[in-house]
Amino acid sequence: MPTLGTGADGKLRVGVSIDDGPVEVLTDLLTPAPNAADSQPKRDWNKAVEDNARTLTAHFPGVAAGRHVLKVWRIDDNVVLQRIVVGTGALPGNYLGGR
């Protein structure tokens, strides 16, 4: 089941950066939807439960070809990182980036 934020705002944040570049903060807000999914956070919750996963995307335009270091920064507790998919264009058309 997807993780919920433990802070007062219910958000989960994680930072990502390439090499020594700036940190891009990815924010997720899921609101449990026991009844009607009448808001985007509730629709996101339903999708996360269906997939048993949540996907967040970062973009790093202008990164040159070659070897780089991807850094992941813990900002909030309760974030569970299960998979990282890196691509230079459209991601493969497979389920949740898996093989």
More confident: 68 or 10:
68
Given pLDDT bands bounded at 50, 70 and 90, which one contains residue 46?
A: confident
Q: Three-state SS for 12?
A: strand
| Percent of the chain whose predicted confidence (pLDDT) is above 70 | 85
Tokens of 17: 């950066």
pLDDT for the residue 1 = 37
What is the spatial distance between Cα 63 and Cα 72, in angstroms, rounded to a whole number?
Answer: 17
Domain assignments of the chain as residue spans, ordered by start:
11-97
What is the spatial distance between Cα 98 and Cα 65, in angstroms, rounded to a whole number?
Answer: 24
* The dihedral formed by the CA atoms of 16, 19, 21 and 26, expressed in degrees to the nearest 10: -10
pLDDT at 70 over 50: yes
Neighbours of 75 (CB within 10 A): 15
